[in-house]
């Protein structure tokens, strides 16, 4: 009762709890707030023509406007709440459980065992999170490719692309479900919890009630579970509340820069990045492409930090405050990271695409390429040969490659057994400088041609 009065005595704690409640309601009632498209369910919903690559302001059909290809901003914003809440809680709970158990066991053991275990924990702090995400992605991709599959991470804004020549095994299916960002954040976020709990347990195990429990014949596991963990997790809970928000911010960041992750908010920001600056450098011309989702990410992080501060006032005793501040200084900073042979498979240029090419004049970088529009028009009417010819023309002239890659990634999902699609994707990747993925695409095209 006293703790609740302390928590609600500060308006910041009330504000944080209110914001968390709003995000929780949005996550739980997302299907009612913004129903999914029955034909294409997911966090993204199109409310207009896919070939319309210009974002439109708020309207009756899209109350927060649309992005290029007419994706509804409000729909992704709402469903992003569910994704963010689930991701943040899973990372925080996983890190909390691993760190509390490791730190309490090491502290109770003491001596050489404690020193060895904590040095192992410190070793995790030296490994940069960004490098861990990239390493795990490559490891999963190579494992699937070695077993006969094809697996790409983050081509354009479409996330993963998978292709299996045969029925995938249970292990291959499991690998495709792994979220590298979540796994790495858990593996490298538990150390502050371990250090915090370890320092408290080293003090608590000298208290009279713990010594009495051991003298009465209590096993080590029982003493740790019954006395040490319950009396040392208060500061860890505070750290966990704060980590919910920071994990979601990191996920959105990794997704935005293309290093992994499947944050709908990060993808939303990435899709609208070209329109952040409008005519004359104004930030208000297309405000809906970045402002709503940016505010959502910021408020999500602020909300959980305010809740963490409130829990700190309630759960953290004065004798542990210095220990908590020391643990808070152990945050990790992500470190900075750092032409394949083509198969003989060329489709002739059609008269339809040739006429579209002749109509093209040099356009500015901000305009949509007319050949790209022609290619997408052919895709919309299932005219695959003409579409591939148009894409080949763009690739040969190194035009709109960043827009061509997501289109071809979608075509690969739609026509996974067509070697022409894989070859064209390889050409685009080769033009973009991604020779490794280009070689895999050409190899897949050869395999399909030989079948």
More confident residue, 89 or 399: 89
Q: Where are the alpha helices (DSSP H) in 360-434?
A: 370-380, 384-396, 401-414, 419-431
Structure tokens at 165: 């020549």
Instruction: Tell me the pLDDT tens digit for each residue of 380-428.
Output: 888 888 888 888 888 888 888 888 888 888 888 888 888 888 888 888 8
**How far from chain centre, in Å, is Cα 207?**
44
Per-residue pLDDT, 163: 57
Contact, 437 vs 152, CB < 8 A?
Answer: yes
| Percent of the chain whose predicted confidence (pLDDT) is above 90 | 18
| Strand duo 149-152 + 161-164: pairing | antiparallel
14, exposed or middle or buried, with CB in 10 Å at 0-12, 13-18, 19+?
A: middle
pLDDT exceeds cutoff 60 at 339? no
pLDDT exceeds cutoff 80 at 229? yes
Secondary structure element (H or E) that encloses residue 37, with its range? none
pLDDT exceeds cutoff 50 at 333? no
Contact, 444 vs 421, CB < 8 A?
Answer: no
Provide the pLDDT confidence category of residue 235 given band limits of 50, 70 and 90: confident
pLDDT exceeds cutoff 70 at 77? yes
- SS3 of residue 163 by DSSP: strand
Per-residue pLDDT, 342: 46
Per-residue pLDDT, 167: 67
Contact, 376 vs 384, CB < 8 A?
Answer: no
pLDDT exceeds cutoff 60 at 113? yes
Q: Cα angle at 226 between 220 and 229, to 5 degrees? A: 90
Provide the pLDDT confidence category of residue 330 given band limits of 50, 70 and 90: very low
The residue-averaged pLDDT of 107-120 equals 89
Give the lowest-confidence range in 94-98, 169-173, 181-185: 169-173
Give the lowest-confidence range in 256-265, 292-301, 352-361: 352-361
| Percent of the chain whose predicted confidence (pLDDT) is above 70 | 79
Taking the whole predicted model, whether its pTM rises above 0.95 is answered as: no
Per-residue pLDDT, 54: 84
pLDDT exceeds cutoff 80 at 174? no
Give the lowest-confidence range in 1-10, 22-31, 244-253, 324-333: 324-333
Provide the pLDDT confidence category of residue 157 given band limits of 50, 70 and 90: very low
Q: What distance in Å separates the CA atoms of residue 24 and residue 259, rounded to the nearest whole number?
A: 27
pLDDT exceeds cutoff 50 at 338? no
Provide the pLDDT confidence category of residue 279 given band limits of 50, 70 and 90: low
Per-residue pLDDT, 350: 45
More confident residue, 230 or 303: 303
pLDDT exceeds cutoff 80 at 238? yes
More confident residue, 142 or 31: 31
What mean pLDDT, rounded, does the chain reach?
78
Specify the DSSP class assigned to residue 149.
Answer: E
330-341: burial string, b at 16+ Cβ within 10 Å, e else: eebebeeeeebe
pLDDT exceeds cutoff 70 at 375? yes
Instruction: Tell me the pLDDT tens digit for each residue of 50-69.
Output: 777 888 888 888 888 888 88
Which segment, 117-126, 137-146, 170-179, 373-382, is predicted with the most confidence on average? 117-126
Per-residue pLDDT, 181: 85
366 backbone dihedrals φ, ψ, rounded to 5°: -85, -10
Provide the pLDDT confidence category of residue 153 given band limits of 50, 70 and 90: low
Per-residue pLDDT, 346: 41
Per-residue pLDDT, 316: 60
């Amino acid at each position: 009762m006293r703790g609740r009065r302390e928590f609600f005595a500060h308006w910041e704690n009330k504000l944080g709890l209110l914001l968390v409640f709003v995000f929780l309601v949005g996550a739980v009632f997302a299907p009612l707030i913004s129903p999914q498209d029955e034909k294409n369910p997911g966090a993204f919903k199109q409310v207009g023509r896919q070939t319309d690559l210009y974002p439109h302001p708020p309207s009756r059909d899209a109350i927060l406007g649309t992005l290029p290809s007419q994706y509804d901003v409000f729909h992704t914003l709402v469903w992003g709440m569910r994704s963010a809440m689930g991701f943040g809680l899973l990372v925080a709970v996983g890190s909390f459980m691993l760190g509390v158990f490791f730190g309490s066991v090491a502290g109770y053991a003491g001596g050489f065992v404690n020193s060895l275990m904590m040095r192992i924990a410190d070793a995790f702090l030296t490994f940069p999170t960004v490098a861990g995400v990239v390493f795990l992605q490559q490891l999963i991709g190579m494992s699937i490719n070695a077993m006969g599959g094809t697996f790409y991470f983050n081509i354009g804004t479409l996330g993963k692309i998978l292709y299996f020549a045969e029925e995938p095994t249970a292990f291959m299916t499991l690998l495709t479900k792994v979220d590298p960002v979540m796994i790495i954040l858990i593996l490298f976020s538990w150390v502050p919890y371990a250090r915090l709990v370890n320092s408290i347990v080293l003090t608590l195990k000298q208290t009279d009630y713990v010594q009495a429990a051991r003298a009465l014949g209590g096993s080590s596991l029982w003493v740790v579970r019954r006395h040490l963990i319950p009396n040392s997790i208060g500061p860890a809970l505070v750290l966990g509340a704060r980590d919910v928000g920071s994990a979601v911010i990191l996920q959105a960041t990794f997704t935005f820069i293309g290093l992994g992750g499947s944050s709908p908010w990060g993808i939303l920001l990435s899709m609208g990045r070209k329109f952040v600056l409008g005519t004359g450098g104004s930030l208000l011309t297309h405000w809906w492409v970045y402002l709503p989702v940016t505010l959502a990410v910021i408020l999500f992080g602020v909300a959980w930090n305010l809740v963490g501060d409130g829990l700190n006032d309630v759960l953290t005793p004065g004798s542990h405050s210095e220990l908590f501040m020391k643990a808070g200084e152990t945050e990790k900073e992500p470190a900075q990271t750092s032409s394949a042979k083509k198969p003989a498979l060329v489709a002739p240029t059609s008269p339809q695409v040739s006429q579209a090419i002749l109509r093209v004049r040099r356009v500015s970088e901000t305009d949509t390429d007319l050949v790209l529009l022609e290619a997408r028009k052919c895709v919309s009417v299932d005219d695959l040969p003409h579409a591939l010819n148009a894409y080949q023309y763009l690739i040969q002239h190194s035009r709109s490659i960043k827009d061509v890659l997501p289109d071809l990634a979608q075509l690969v999902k739609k026509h996974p057994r067509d070697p022409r699609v894989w070859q064209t994707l390889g050409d685009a990747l080769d033009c973009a400088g991604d020779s490794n993925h280009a070689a895999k695409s050409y190899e897949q095209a050869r395999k399909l041609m030989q079948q």
